[in-house]
């Protein structure tokens, strides 16, 4: 009989082997799907050239004559419920089939937008993203499945779109959108859908659409609210007309910090697909010069009238000189004071001697050093998970609660008869630095923060500590 240790390592080896096999099979599926896609588009082209040939001869059947609108028999069947709509019909559907739409971001907004755009028969559908699928995306990014965790979102989204509709062209742009590649990518499409999650990307995509003359369907969601509008459409305003000056970086909350109810970007993403379909098929009144505001908690949708194109706009105004070269040279991260990528910023506020690492903190706990650990995260974060014996005093209320810190320190000192240290922790190590700076100004000269916060505790000390 093998010992426990040997048994465990045998199981681990077996798991590894199975995982390798799973990865091989998944890759094989991807390859086959790509092949299938190619076959389908070849067959499609053949069919089309045959129908052109038929046109050389006197019409042989009513069906041939009716195919003048360009829809194949398969398309007629697939999109029949669209064709049956008097206000949509054959004209709008063939417009859609001839159109091309680019979705920037395959996340919470992009997921439903892409699913509907693929299903409805947009002729060419492009996807831009540079991220990989993560478990904490899955509650809202419904285009991805668990099997794709760790793989590029573009691959995952493209495969989902192909499995819904193998007759359209899906283009994968597996890269981060930058000023260096945006003109080249966006110029290949008729309509752009902004499904990104940060301020610099929104300015960059809007400016790029202005210099290329493309309509932009812009959606955003955070927490329990969503917003939607169409920019740069038939003389309507662009993003800069509405927001000529970027907001302070502290006003730009991210889903990874503030949270978001999964279905909220889902709703906005669906509405983005709808607006893109209306523009592509030339049906209805796109949401230009108006903005839709969605509040999930009160179940209210408000549609408001917004300003028109601004004559003073730096991107699209009357006397602007903004062109493709200016666009390429423009520094959007500097302009908005925030990064184009979604990775959270790493603040460096404190000198190294005002900080300790999570490993050092662990050693001090083990050695029984008298100390107080203040956790400055908001209360609802603290409720998710926290370190033992920590004192939760959120950064926003710290100044008013300094006496609590003083008395906790005193208590520690009474027990041991020596001075107690003061440590501050937060989620990632940014707020803890702000807190220590404030504490030192208020006379707590020994305050130190824990570098990298609970994230580094989970990475470097306790791999079982839950992260969120």
Active site residues: 255, 426
Residues that bind other proteins (CB under 8 A): 105, 107-110, 195-199, 202, 219-223, 225-227, 242-248, 250-255, 258, 260, 265, 291, 293, 295, 298, 302-307, 396
Q: How far is the CB of 253 from other proteins (least distance, A)?
A: 6
Q: Tokens standing for 245? A: 């000056």
Q: How far is the CB of 285 from other proteins (least distance, A)?
A: 17
Q: Could you give the CA distance from residue 409 to residue 371 in angstroms, rounded to a whole number?
A: 7
In the bound state with other proteins, the residue whose beta carbon lies nearer, of 252 and 373, is 252
| Binding site listing | 108, 129, 136-140, 153, 197-198, 238, 241, 313, 316
Enumerate residues 6+ apart whose C-beta is below 8 A from 211: 183, 315, 322, 323, 324, 327
Enumerate residues 6+ apart whose C-beta is below 8 A from 100: 122, 123, 124, 125, 126, 188, 189, 190, 191
Q: How far is the CB of 230 from other proteins (least distance, A)?
A: 15
**83, 120, 316, 374: residue in contact with Zn ion (rule CB under 5 A):** 316
| Binding site listing for ATP | 108, 129, 136-140, 153, 197-198
Binding site partner of 240, from Zn ion, other proteins, none, Cβ cut-off 5-8 A by kind: Zn ion
Residue 96 contacts residue 165 (beta carbons within 8 Å):
no
Q: Could you give the CA distance from residue 44 to residue 40 in angstroms, rounded to a whole number?
A: 6
In the bound state with other proteins, the residue whose beta carbon lies nearer, of 301 and 365, is 301
In the bound state with other proteins, the residue whose beta carbon lies nearer, of 81 and 302, is 302
Q: Tokens standing for 327? A: 């666009």
Q: How far is the CB of 128 from other proteins (least distance, A)?
A: 13
In the bound state with other proteins, the residue whose beta carbon lies nearer, of 244 and 345, is 244
Q: Could you give the CA distance from residue 405 to residue 155 in angstroms, rounded to a whole number?
A: 51
Q: How far is the CB of 172 from other proteins (least distance, A)?
A: 19
**153, 202, 240, 381: residue in contact with Zn ion (rule CB under 5 A):** 240
Torsional class of 193: left (φ above 0), alpha (ψ -120 to 50), beta (otherwise): beta
Question: Of the candidates 457, 441, 437, which has an alpha carbon nearest to the alpha carbon of residue 449?
Answer: 437
Residue nearest to Zn ion (CB): 313
In the bound state with other proteins, the residue whose beta carbon lies nearer, of 105 and 452, is 105
Q: Tokens standing for 269? A: 């993403």
Residue 266 contacts residue 309 (beta carbons within 8 Å):
no
Where along the sequence are the contacts to Zn ion (CB under 5 A)?
Answer: 238, 240-241, 313, 315-316
């Amino acid at each position: 009989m093998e010992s426990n240790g040997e048994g465990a390592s045998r199981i681990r080896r077996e798991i590894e082997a199975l995982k390798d096999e799973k990865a091989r099979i998944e890759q094989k599926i991807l390859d086959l799907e790509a092949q299938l896609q190619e076959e389908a588009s070849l067959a499609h082209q053949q069919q089309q050239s045959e129908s052109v040939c038929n046109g050389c001869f006197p019409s042989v059947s009513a069906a041939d004559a009716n195919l003048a609108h360009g829809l194949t028999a398969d398309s007629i069947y697939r999109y029949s419920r669209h064709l049956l709509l008097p206000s949509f019909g054959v004209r709008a559907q063939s417009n859609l089939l001839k159109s091309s739409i680019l979705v920037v971001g395959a996340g919470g907004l992009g997921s439903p937008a892409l699913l509907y755009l693929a299903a409805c028969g947009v002729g060419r559908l492009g996807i831009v993203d540079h991220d990989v699928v993560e478990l904490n995306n899955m509650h809202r990014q419904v285009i991805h499945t668990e099997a794709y965790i760790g793989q590029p979102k573009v691959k995952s989204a493209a495969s989902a779109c192909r499995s819904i509709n193998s007759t359209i062209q899906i283009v994968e742009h597996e890269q981060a959108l930058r000023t260096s590649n945006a003109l080249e990518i966006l110029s290949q499409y008729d309509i752009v859908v902004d499904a990104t999650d940060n301020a610099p990307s929104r300015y960059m995509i809007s400016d790029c659409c202005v210099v290329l003359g493309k309509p932009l369907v812009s959606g955003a969601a955070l927490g329990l609210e969503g917003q939607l509008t169409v920019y740069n459409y038939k003389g309507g305003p662009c993003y800069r007309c509405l927001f000529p000056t970027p907001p302070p970086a502290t006003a730009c909350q991210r889903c990874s910090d503030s949270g978001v109810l999964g279905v909220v970007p889902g709703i906005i993403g669906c509405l983005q697909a709808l607006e893109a379909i209306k523009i592509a098929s030339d049906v209805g009144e796109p949401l230009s010069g108006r903005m839709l505001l969605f509040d999930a908690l009160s179940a209210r949708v408000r549609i408001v009238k917004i300003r028109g194109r601004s004559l003073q706009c730096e991107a699209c105004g009357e006397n602007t000189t903004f062109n493709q070269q200016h666009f390429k040279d423009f520094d959007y991260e500097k302009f908005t004071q925030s990064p184009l990528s979604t990775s959270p910023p790493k603040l460096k506020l404190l000198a190294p001697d005002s900080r300790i690492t999570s490993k050092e903190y662990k050693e001090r706990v083990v050695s029984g050093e008298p100390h107080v650990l203040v956790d400055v995260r908001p209360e609802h974060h603290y409720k998710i998970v926290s370190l033992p014996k920590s004192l939760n005093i959120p950064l926003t209320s710290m100044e008013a609660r300094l006496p609590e810190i003083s008395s906790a320190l005193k208590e520690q000192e009474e027990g041991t008869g020596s001075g107690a240290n003061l440590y501050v922790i937060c989620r990632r190590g940014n707020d803890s630095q702000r807190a220590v700076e404030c504490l030192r100004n208020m006379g707590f000269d020994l305050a130190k923060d824990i570098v990298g916060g609970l994230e580094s505790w989970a990475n470097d000390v306790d791999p079982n500590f839950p992260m969120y």
